[in-house]
Amino acid sequence: MDTRPPASPCVGICLMDPATRQCRGCLRTVEEIARWYEESPAEKRALLAVLQARRVAAAARRAP
């Protein structure tokens, strides 16, 4: 099992969406961003999975 922490999901587009309360770049909430540096590698990987699900859901909402 990989114990190294994953890279931050930040993509440098830091703009909070008032409707979703998520960053439009990485899709994290302010709380998730604030906790990132204190979380364990396992917690970070779990959040990355949540973010992937958010990206899929967002893409589905945009699809015709």
- The answer to whether the Cα torsion of 11, 6, 33, 54 is positive or negative is positive
Rounded Cα distance, 64 and 61, in Å = 8
The label of the residue with tokens 């589905």 reads 60
Residue 23 within a domain? yes
Alpha helices in the chain (DSSP H): 30-35, 41-62
- What's the domain range around 25? 16-62
Please state the domain count of the chain.
1
Indicate the pLDDT class of residue 1, thresholds 50, 70 and 90: low
Residue 25 within a domain? yes
The label of the residue with tokens 């945009």 reads 62
Q: Is pLDDT of 62 > 90?
A: no
Which tens digit of pLDDT belongs to each residue from 30-51? 999 999 999 999 999 999 999 9
pTM of the model: 0.87
Average pLDDT of the segment spanning 43-64 = 94
Residues 6+ apart with CB under 8 A from 43: none
